Amino acid sequence: MSSPRITSPDSPALATLCAQLAARADAADLSGAWPAEQLRLCGEAGVYEWFLPVEYGGQDWSDLDVVRGYLALAAADLTTTFIITQRTGACRRVASGENEELKQRVLPALATADNFATVGISHLTTSHRHLGKPVLTATRTAAGYVLDGFSPWVTGGDHAGCILVGAVVVDGDVVTDEQILAFVPTSDPGVRADMPAKLVAVSHSHTGRVQFDSVLVSDEWIVAGPVANVMMAGRASRPGGHETSTLAIGLASAALDFLKQEAAKREELRPAHEALAAEHAEVVSDLLAIAEGNAVCSSESLRQRANSLVLRSTQAALAAAKGAGYVAGHPVGRWCREALFFLVWSCPQPVMNANLCELAGLGMVSDG
Ligand SMILES: Cc1cc2nc3c(=O)[nH]c(=O)nc-3n(C[C@H](O)[C@H](O)[C@H](O)COP(=O)(O)OP(=O)(O)OC[C@H]3O[C@@H](n4cnc5c(N)ncnc54)[C@H](O)[C@@H]3O)c2cc1C
């Protein structure tokens, strides 16, 4: 069955696509197979166009519309939506980068499902940072940069045509404070995706390490840098921004919809559903305000509340589903496992600290 095109978050076609994704989500989780059909349906429905400027074949949705679209997709199928965020991350970095020729060359092809790109940047922000030496280095040569090392977490690395990867510039043994972002074709000699990791959830995102063994990247593939803090270059959304919170809030709404259906039949569930639904409405309202440009709270505070809400909502749904929900293949068990992902995905230190405080019963840290 084909998907009608989605041109706004109010489009009925979005609900149609979400129903198609939700119907496949449990089987995809159990199988661990890459969700090729789900990604094809999203491409056919025009989802990849939401995030791209019109000049590259995109629909250039506003931040608010993107948030509304992501909320619906994440409630239907978190893993496919997460994969789309990584794909979008790569596209947005290229689109906000300095290489005009690269934009013209690669972005129009990324408006469709025929091409998949992804990101490997966490080692510049939230992963392997305590080791004191970079895990992926770039050495300047006359022909371009030579990449050596690995990117520890790359979603869909074994299915990507190109990976937007970050590396720290070195000069011999000297580590400089400069970094580059490059859009590296996976067909380049020396690029190798390891077997994807088996994960607590979202395993079918095929996330794993990608090795770069003396990979020569010519200047035509450089997106940004060399510069200090290359992740701050351009206008692409930063890790820990409201995209991660949006997906957490979307997943929470799936759990709360389930709880609502159960509460309609079981009086004793109503107070819990009402309290969580009221909290969800408040968080959604703040998220939409931020997406409209009103800084009603910091992105860290929003993320902390979204993390807390998704963990409690999914576990409340499991408690309501009882033992039946604990059987593999029931969506609430999957939602609980998926919610744990938000404790580790692109989680900046202040958010992690706040999550730990809450888990330790030390109370929620307020937005200061
Ligand atoms: C399913 C999944 C998909 C992801 N997809 C992507 C993606 O597509 N692209 C991308 O760029 N990133 C991706 N990430 C990375 C993610 O955003 C985070 O960067 C990652 O989860 C951080 O975890 P880490 O284990 O690498 O952190 P690390 O900080 O490297 O921690 C690893 C271990 O090191 C030790 N350690 C940590 N800090 C210290 C310290 N200060 N002192 C001593 N020991 C320490 C601990 O034992 C810890 O378990 C993904 C992550 C997951 C889980």
| Residue ID of nearest Cα to ligand 1 atom 37 | 130
- The answer to whether residue 1 sits within a structural domain is no
Q: Among 146-155, 220-229, 355-364, which stretch is predicted with the lowest mean pLDDT?
A: 355-364
Instruction: For 38-64, write each residue's pLDDT tens digit.
Output: 999 999 999 999 999 999 999 999 999
**Measured from the CB, is residue 245 less than 6 Å from ligand 1?**
no
Q: 120 CA distance to ligand 1 centroid (A)? A: 12
> What are 196-219's pLDDT values in tens digits?
999 999 999 999 999 999 999 999
For 297-335, how does the pLDDT look when each residue is reduced to its tens digit (9 = 90+)? 999 999 999 999 999 999 999 999 999 999 999 999 999
Assign 11 a pLDDT band (cuts: 50, 70, 90): very high
For the CA of 197, the nearest atom of ligand 1 = 1
* Closest ligand 1 atom number to CA of residue 119: 9
Which ligand 1 atom sits nearest the alpha carbon of residue 125?
19
pLDDT of residue 237: 44
Domain stops at, among 65, 86, 111:
111
Q: Is residue 283 in some structural domain?
A: yes
52 touches ligand 1 (CB under 6 Å): no
Report the pLDDT averaged over residues 74-83.
Answer: 98
Q: Is 203 in the pocket of ligand 1 (CB under 6 A)?
A: no
Residues 6+ apart with CB under 8 A from 145: 138, 139, 167, 169, 180, 182, 216, 217, 222
- Residue finishing a domain among 232, 256, 277: 232
- Peptide bond before 348: cis, by omega within 30 degrees of 0? no
The three-state DSSP-derived secondary structure of 236-301 is CCCCCCHHHHHHHHHHHHHHHHHHHHHHHHCHHHHHHHHHHHHHHHHHHHHHHHHHCCCCCCCHHH
320 CB less than 6 Å from ligand 1? no
Q: What is the pLDDT of residue 91?
A: 96
Give the Cα separation of 43 and 110 in Å (integer). 10
124 and 102 belong to one structural domain: no
Domain count, the chain: 3
Q: 355 CA distance to ligand 1 centroid (A)?
A: 16
pLDDT for residue 77: 98
- Supply the range of the domain harboring residue 93: 12-111
The predicted model gives 261-278 an average pLDDT of 98
| 21 and 49 fall within a common domain | yes
**Whether residue 83 sits in one domain with residue 142:** no
pTM above the 0.85 mark? yes
The CATH number that applies at residue 337 is: 1.20.140.10
In degrees rounded to 5, what are phi and psi of residue 57?
90, 10
Q: Last residue of some domain: 208, 232, 256?
A: 232
pLDDT at 21 over 60: yes
- Residue with CA at minimum distance from ligand 1 atom 38: 130
Is residue 50 domain-shared with residue 76, that is, in the same domain? yes
